Amino acid sequence: MVENQAQSAERTLVLLKPDALARGLAGRIITRFEDAALKIVGTKMKWMDSEFTRRHYFDLEERLGSEVYDVTATFMQQGPVIALVLEGFDAIATVRKIVGSTYPNQAPAGTVRGDFSHYSAAASKASGKAVANLVHASGNAEEAKQEVELWFGKDELQDYKTLAEMYTY
């Protein structure tokens, strides 16, 4: 007999970065999340100005230095991003598995970064450009909560049922 394990779905933030939009990959990337039975409960397109970039990457400069922050901020402000809130069981870990390693040259085939990019940390350092890795994905539950609240008001998040939920949740 299978035990009924009551588990609630979690939410996470995904950003399709300017390089994903410039390359016309948004639909193909979103499809991968939907194929994994993750539900889109919030979406918007936004240009990140310097103030909002600072709020999103509030600790990046402290963790990795001003040079990394400056390169990242410039990259994120070069075009619009699509912000998604995805919901599902183990959504944070599932999204991170789908997108692959931060450095695309280390991401396995079958992941977003492994299939659509090849940039490395060494190339980033040598060129002075940000790592063009197509997506940002929240790293843990605390980060996901902060990022979802930064990007979306409660009135911008939807609650609805999908057919996939009948079989997966």
Predicted confidence (pLDDT) per residue in 20-68, tens digit: 999 999 999 999 999 999 999 999 999 999 999 999 999 999 998 999 9
136 catalytic, yes or no?
yes
Residue 6 pLDDT greater than 50, yes or no = no
Task: Catalytic residue, from 136, 137, 138, 147: name it.
Answer: 136
**Would you state the pLDDT for residue 7?**
64
Say what the pTM is: 0.91
Average pLDDT, the chain: 92
Task: Order across the sheet with 135-137: list the strands.
Answer: 39-46, 81-88, 10-16, 135-137
Class of domain 10-157: alpha beta
Question: What CA–CA distance (Å, rounded) separates 42 from 84?
Answer: 5
